[in-house]
Structures are given as C-alpha cells and as structure tokens.
Structure 1
C-alpha cells in the first residue's frame, strides 16, 4: 500500500533525476511519450512500445527506467527487475529506478532485497517526506514478513465521548398500540432517548503460530471492552470475544477458519451470548488490493429471554484497493438470515441485506482522514402481536474521523458516528450520534 505512494512521491520530488538528456531526439521522444502513457494509465501500450526495441536500447538508463516502470504497472515484475538493475548500473543515484526496483522485488516476495534497495534510497539526498514514506514501506515489509513467522500482538485503549442515545430509544414517549385498540401508552424515563457522556477501556491480544509447513498457521485472539456512562449507570455495557482457528496461505490466497465465542452484558447482567464459526477467503491480486469473502454461522442465546434465541447466517464479500494518490477505497455487501428457534414467533426472526463503503486519505505520514457509510435492510418474518404489522427496518450509518500517530505504536482517533434506524414500529425508530476520542497503544 505504501509503495505506490512512495514511488509517486519520489517521481514528483526528483523528476529530473531519472531522465537525463539523451543523445538522440527520436529516442528522447520515445521515452517521454512512453512515460506520459504510463501516467495516463496506459502502461500496457507503453510497455509494448518499449519492449519492441529493448534489445537495441538496453543499457540506456532513461529507457530502462521507463521500461521498468511500465513493466511494474503491467505486473511483469521480473522484466522490471532486469530493466531497473541495468538503469542503476549506469545511474546509481537514480532514486526513481531504485524505488521501482523495490516495488518489483516486493511483488516477487523478495522482502530482504526490497528492504535493502529502499534503505539505499533513503541514504540518498531525498526530501524528508519521501524518507518518511520509505520508513512507512519498510514497516509494511516488516509486517508482511511477520505474517510468515510466529508472533504475539497486544493493545490497550481508552475512549471518552458523548452519546445522544445510549439506550437506542425513540424520541417520542407516547406510543399507540393497535392490538389494544390504539390505546396510547407513555414510555417510562428509561424507555425513551437518553443522552450521556461515557468513557471506556479495552484491551486485546492476538497470536499466530506458524507450523512446520509455513503456509499453515494457528491463530487466536481475545478482546474485551467496558463502557461506563457518567449518569445512567444502568446502561453500562461490557463485551468479551475469543476466536481461535487456523489459516492456510497459497500464493495470493489465504483461507481462514475460526471458532468464535462472545458475550455482551448490560449493567453487569448477561444480555446475549454468541458462539459460532467463520470461514474466510482472502485474495490479494497485488500489493495494493484484496478481495475478502466470508461465511459466518452463529447461535445467539438470550439469558432469561429464551424466546429470542436464534441462529444467524451471514454471507458477505468486500474489496479494498489503494489508488496511486494513496487514497484507500473499500466497499462490500452482505446478506443473511436470523432464524428464531421458538415456534409461533416469526416476528422475532428476520432477513437482512446490507452494503458498506468507505475511504481513507493520508494527509501526511502521521495523519489519515477516513469516512465510511453503511446501510442495512431488515425484514421480519411475521406481524408483531402488539403493533399488528410486519416489522421492517432500514438502518443507515455514517462515520467521519482521523487517525493521528503521534509516536510509533500510539494512535489517537477523534470520530463522529451517526446512526438512523427507520422502522414502521414506533419503539424501534431512533437516531443516535456519538462523538468520541480514542487513544490506543500497540505492543
């Protein structure tokens, strides 16, 4: 992800460093025009033009640099390595060629060589922001290598914020009940929208154990979070989740299967227990993008409210990619069903379908802006016995914020989250606004 941003930064900062004036105007035009084609997104056309005369022009550093760039952009990384190494033999200080070589070596999974090339680039007289991007990419290489060896990670975090609706209650306290002839009932103080400030603490740990076959790993994680409201302590919540399973990697694909156990409580009383399994397939066509498809099977149990017990099945997919500008874009969709276990209560089960999308834009090496949106439709299985209609919910979410990294392993995240659920049943229709700041420390 970081490498494309790095390459383009070096290109902008040192455009004159990798294209020196050649002796022949015709060759000069070929190089310039081919580079322009690459920058216009026509890398294949540029590569075809250059490859046709590679035998004659090999050894010209300008030609080899642009050929290497075009080869990288068309996924021909071995050809890129040959061309860029020729360019660096003649022009050892060619920062663009060295950055592109690092990109090609990383794509060929030669992390050690990619690291060495980028460290050499960093020792050159390059702008500070380019050096910081190189540091980012070196960190990305470390993470990539870490996935191939056993490791343990942990974090702690704390948040402080304001929630406009801590109990997800409706705004109107007066509710007409059709089953009772339209009689209007007034909800109690805790049944309507309550605003409060809150703070939370959380922690988590995850581990990967690589087997003798390095493609196979055992994975596990555990995480917990406690949220405390300043005034309405009856709505304090806590959540704890554990997962354990295995992953298997084959080239650009990773297959993961884990078992999950989780519990959610309010006012220290268990509200919902969940257990199940998740299978996921992740495909990474290149270093800047990935597809993920998953299937989740869960059982939901509600202590003291067994009538609400259900089985939940969700199938989803998502795609994420980093553009040349460094902008991360992602989107996905899912569908599922929550089947009630008890008989005669179809109004407690529902079908669901949803969409999610978002983006993240780095402002500099330390700050990223992010935004995400989501929408979910839920259609229940039968008429509600009190409201005499089949419940239908439409839930929309919007999150805006930024990630600030003031120091390595520290992250500060101010965030605004908006949620609106539109329902044809009055007590299920509500809005929520949460403004918070989270500080996280990774280990």
Structure 2
C-alpha cells in the first residue's frame, strides 16, 4: 500500500508547474512592463503639472530606449512641457525618422523647432503642418512696436528677411493740429491769439509704400554682423498734400551671443523729408541686451543715444537719450502678450530754449490672440508723459503732455508669405498748451508680402 506522501506527489508537481512555469514565461516581459509603467508615470506627472520630474524620469531611460517611437513621443512631450526644447526637438526628430507619415509627430516637431528659434527647420516641414502647428506668426504682428534683428537659426546659419507693405488709410488729423475750439482752452492771462488758416486738424486719405530688409551674417558661434534698413514713401489727398513724405532708416552693427544672452551695438541713421524739404536728420547709437529664457519668452533691454537736427529750425536741434526694457511671452498656441517701460530726456543744443527740452517716461503693452492658423486679433497701448524744462515764452505756462496711443486690429494670412492687416489707431495728446492738445484717428489696411 502506497503512503499518503506518495499519493500526493503528482498533485504537488502539478501545482508547482502551474505556479512556476507562468512566472518563468513572464520573466522576459518584466523589463518591458516596468518601462511601460515608467511611461505611464511620466504621463501622470505631466498631467499633474510636474513636467520636470517626468523629464528626469525618462531622461534616465533615454540611452536604452531611444529609437522606440512610443518612448520618444513620451520623451518629446515631457521635454517640451518642462521647457527642455532642444531635447524635445531630438526626441520628435527620432519619431519622425521612424514614422515619416506621422503628421501629429511632425506638428510636435514644428512646435519644438519654433521654441528654439529654428525657422529654417520649421519651413522645411510640410505646409499643412506649419499652418496647424504655429498659428499666426506672433513676432511679425508686433514688429511695428518691438524692433529686433533676425536671430540665428537652430544650425547657426546666417539669415536675412524682409517685407514690402502697401497701405491705404484715412487720417482725421494729418497735420497733428488742435481742434477748432483750441482758443477757448487758452490759459488765463494768455495774450489774444487765433489759429492760422489751415492750422486746425485736417482730414486726408493717404497711400504708403514701405520696404524693409534686415539680417545677420554669422562670423562664428558667437559673433555676427547685423543690419537693417527701411524706406517709406507716403502720398496724401486734398488738404494733406503738403504732408507728403519720404523716410529712410538704417542701422548696422555687431552682435555677441553666448547661451541665452545676446548683446548688440549698432549705429543708426535716419532722414525725414516732407513736401520736398528735409525736415529732420537723426544719427546715434543703440545698445541692446536680449535675454531669451527660451523660444517663447525673452527680455529686451536697450539704451539709445541720438542726435536730432532740423535743417530749417536750428533752435530745435537736440540730444536724446532713452533707456527701457520689455518682456515678451509667446503662448504655445501662437497668442502672446508683452509689456515694457522706458524713460529718457531730450535736451536742446541751443541756449535759452530750455522750454523745448523735456523728460519723458512711458509704458507700453499689447496682446495678440490667435483665433486660428490664419487669423489673429491684437491690441497695443502706449502711454507717455513729457515734462518740459521751462515755461513757454508765449503762453506763460510750463508744458506738460500725456499722450495715449491705442491700436486695435486683426491680422489675416490668406496664403504663405502674405499678410493683410486692417487696424484702428487712436492718439490723444492731453497738453497744457492748447496748440499741442489734439486727437487723431487713423484707419488703415496694409497688405504685406514677406520674403
């Protein structure tokens, strides 16, 4: 008769087989399951707002898993959310290399390239990807307020670009004259006076043609030559004919860049002609420091020294010094906001005309909302105060100005390289001198061709 232990031996072996063999079969899959758990943990960290921890978690696995599209996509998302944009570019480039038809990956790559400022890389992608990934190019919508040179591409190549603008507009005060009731605003004790015929605000339509070109020639990894030039011709209708004008602005200099910092020093020159006569010439220097936190955020601090000369009015010749700083933040959907502060002084060169000199201080800011890939709405506000140095010899009061300039408009990209911008611009100068107290409204439509 067999013992009890002998009877239970087959059962014991069967039980061991049921437990051990599944464990042995799943053993090769354990690393993969652990890695997938790491991806899930990284995704949860990103959703919880701790993108940096997610990036660090995946960074430790990148050497082993780079080339796996699932891992690379997770790495790209975590790196972008953690503002590690260069690493996001590398991760999404690997995804696109293994899956060239993956449009979603191409869009993410476009966003990452945009973040590091690689416009050439973005332009190399398919048009439908460019249009969907980066709604209305924010920088071009505010370049009338914040002037900067084209920066180096991701590969450190020389760059140049420009545009041609054609504008049609209606101006409510082309001569920047006071209203008809200006004499009623005369301060008490002012000698009798009246506006000369045609000195009050004059309405006119105008057309303008503007061309701009700017660029950078890279000498090495840190040094570049920079230059820009703008020319504009403006012609008016009716009462505005005497204010037909031509203007040329140019500057050239050097740039030194290291990591996130860029310093620029450039010489500036400008001339303004009106009704066939040269009204003003400007020469000076501009020093600029740009600190780029990343491809979406930057600080721009400047110091500008200028010499202003008026050929027909020598007493107005002056020296001007202005310094300020601005912050720009481009949101990841293409919207943006910016704000800045500045201050300075304009001092007459001639003696005995201190009433023409003034201190100035100003604030400016703006918002652009990306409605879609082709449409954006924007607004800009600039408030400036000017305090003059001496009493006006005729009115017997010290001039104080508070000027408010507000712009509201939309930007439409009907096709690549083309932009149409209708906008309202309203200016109000609140002055203690009645002849410099004025309102101005300009409605314009600008067609731009970029190249």
TM-score norm. by structure 2 comes to: 0.76
Residue 70 of structure 1 aligns to a residue whose secondary structure is helix
Structure 1 stretch 84-93 or stretch 190-199: which is displaced more?
A: 84-93
Written as runs of structure 1 = structure 2, the 5 A alignment for 1:284-295 is 284-295=292-303
CA RMSD of aligned residues (A): 3.9
Q: Residues 320-344 of structure 1, C-alpha deviation per residue, up to 9 Å, x if partnerless?
A: 1111332111111111000111222
Q: Indicate the residue corresponding to 2:195 in structure 1.
A: 187
Q: Is the 8 A contact 1:129 1:365 kept in 2?
A: no
Instruction: Give the 3 Å change call, closer, same or farther, for CA 414–332 of structure 1 in structure 2.
Output: same
Q: Indicate the residue corresponding to 1:271 in structure 2.
A: 279
Q: Is the 8 A contact 1:31 1:62 kept in 2?
A: no
Asked whether 1:228 is paired with 2:235, we answer yes
Q: Is the 8 A contact 1:296 1:313 kept in 2?
A: yes
Q: Is the 8 A contact 1:35 1:66 kept in 2?
A: no
Q: Indicate the residue corresponding to 2:14 in structure 1.
A: none
Q: Indicate the residue corresponding to 2:419 in structure 1.
A: 411
Q: Is the 8 A contact 1:156 1:440 kept in 2?
A: yes
2:347 to 339, 346, 353: 339
Residue 397 of structure 1 aligns to a residue whose secondary structure is strand
Q: Is the 8 A contact 2:388 2:398 kept in 1?
A: yes
1:33 to 18, 39, 44: 44
2:329 to 309, 321, 324: 321
Q: Indicate the residue corresponding to 2:408 in structure 1.
A: 400
Written as runs of structure 1 = structure 2, the 5 A alignment for 1:29-428 is 30=41, 33-37=44-48, 41-47=49-55, 65-76=73-84, 99-100=107-108, 119=125, 130=129, 132-134=131-133, 144-145=152-153, 148-171=156-179, 172-174=181-183, 181-211=189-219, 213-232=220-239, 233-428=241-436
Distance 2:130 2:90 in 1: 25
Count how many residue pairs are aligned between Structure 1 and Structure 2. 406
Residue 414 of structure 2 aligns to a residue whose secondary structure is coil
Structure 1 stretch 326-335 or stretch 49-58: which is displaced more?
A: 49-58
Residue 198 of structure 2 aligns to a residue whose secondary structure is helix
Instruction: Give the 3 Å change call, closer, same or farther, for CA 366–183 of structure 1 in structure 2.
Output: same
Q: CA deviation at 1:388?
A: 1.6
Distance 1:174 1:373 in 2: 30
Structure 2 unaligned spans of 5+: 1-32, 140-149
Q: Residues 213-256 of structure 1, C-alpha deviation per residue, up to 9 Å, x if partnerless?
A: 35322233332212222112122222122212222222322222
Q: Residues 147-184 of structure 1, C-alpha deviation per residue, up to 9 Å, x if partnerless?
A: 944455443322111111111111124257669x4343
Distance 1:293 1:74 in 2: 26
Residue 185 of structure 1 aligns to a residue whose secondary structure is coil
Residue 391 of structure 1 aligns to a residue whose secondary structure is strand
Q: Indicate the residue corresponding to 1:8 in structure 2.
A: none
Q: CA deviation at 1:26?
A: 7.5
Bigger Rg, which one: 2
Distance 1:202 1:85 in 2: 39
Q: Is the 8 A contact 1:34 1:50 kept in 2?
A: no
Structure 1 stretch 420-429 or stretch 316-325: which is displaced more?
A: 316-325
Q: Residues 30-69 of structure 1, C-alpha deviation per residue, up to 9 Å, x if partnerless?
A: 45533422xxx44235446767999999999767644542
Residue 193 of structure 2 aligns to a residue whose secondary structure is strand
Instruction: Give the 3 Å change call, closer, same or farther, for CA 242–434 of structure 1 in structure 2.
Output: same
Instruction: Give the 3 Å change call, closer, same or farther, for CA 159–147 of structure 1 in structure 2.
Output: farther
Q: Residues 328-385 of structure 1, C-alpha deviation per residue, up to 9 Å, x if partnerless?
A: 1111111100011122222110000111111222223322222111100111111111
Structure 1 unaligned spans of 5+: 1-21, 123-127
Distance 2:385 2:184 in 1: 23
TM-score norm. by structure 1 comes to: 0.78
